[in-house]
Amino acid sequence: MPISRKDLADAGSPEALVKRILKAEPNLPVPVPIQELCVSLGIVKTADFDTEEFEGGLVTDAKRSEGTILVKRGGEPRRRFTIAHELGHFLMAHHVPDQPGGFLCKSSDLLRVQAKEGDQRQRREVEANRFAALVLMPPHLLRGAMAAFREPNLQHVLTLARDFAVGRETAARAYVQYHPERIAIVVAGNGRVQRCYRSLSFPAIVCAVGSPVPTGSLYHRSSHRPNIASDIAVCSPDLWIDVKRDLRAPALYEQIYCQQNGFSMILLCLEPVPEDSAEERKLEEGWRYRFHSGRR
């Protein structure tokens, strides 16, 4: 690979770094050869990490003269994400480890998508995750892959995960972000809500993290065949979202994907708002805003 750290110049954010990488490597294949990229960018070694506590680590110095990535044994998609995450720490010079000599990252760090305000540690974990997702699923390649998909379907998430060699949850996050419709994917573990990913226009999900999947959900309705996405069925929208009494309840659809290990994804899809009713709603909301704020 011709790319070197010189190509990254002073790029500091995950977005700027990935932009430079894609400029230097415009014909990056899919799945992205993350190990080769690491070698070209100053990672001298990737070694197995024999620990239960941590998912990955990076041994380096403040100057980042070189780095060694440590990664827990496990499935390839998971290892690839961890390696990309640690490469992110390595390339972002403003990431300062807790202890001199390197970074140690737990599985909760690798799932973090939001940081508490003022928490620098959480912030850098979020940045490393953003870098990993962007470099493993480069936006132009992801958009190209998504162009073949029409109606929202978890089958597409499985296809993305397979083609980009990433975990299903990483693929789900990207899918929700890039899909033009109002969708969300709820990740459940053993019947409880673990994480929710929503498109920008999808309303907040009312089920708290840790709470059971609502009893009225399709999730409970039939025995789902493992590793196969279910049919898509309409559900009561108030299972998942706050339906305002004075607004017409939107139609909400669910689709379920379960694995034998208890991991499940629930796709939620809101019907598209017809053009004229979207206009009406805007008007109505405009009136309400003026009424509440006392403006005229």
Q: CB atoms < 10 A from the CB of 57, how many?
A: 23
Does residue 84 interact with Zn ion by CB under 5 A? Answer: no
| CB of residue 56 to Zn ion, shortest distance in Å | 7
Within the chain, what is the greatest distance between any pair of CA atoms? 66
Centroid of chain to Cα 91: 20
User: What are phi and psi for residue 220, nearest 5 degrees?
Assistant: -95, -10
Q: Which is nearer to Zn ion, 25 or 109 (CB)?
A: 109
Q: Which is nearer to Zn ion, 56 or 152 (CB)?
A: 56
Q: Which is nearer to Zn ion, 54 or 197 (CB)?
A: 54
Sheet holding 43-49, edge to edge: 43-49, 67-72, 56-60, 102-105
* Cross-strand bridge partners of residue 256: 266
* C-alpha radius of gyration, the chain, whole number: 21
What residue number has its CB nearest to Zn ion?
Answer: 105
Q: Is the peptide bond before 31 cis (omega within 30 degrees of 0)?
A: yes
Binders of Zn ion in range 125-154 (CB under 5 A): 125, 128
| CB of residue 285 to Zn ion, shortest distance in Å | 41
| CB of residue 13 to Zn ion, shortest distance in Å | 16
From the list 71-79, 118-126, 160-168, 252-260, the region that binds Zn ion by CB under 5 A is 118-126
Binding mask 97-116 for Zn ion (x = CB under 5 A): --------x---x-------
Which single residue is written with the structure tokens 């969300």? 184
Sites of contact with Zn ion (CB under 5 A): 105, 109, 125, 128
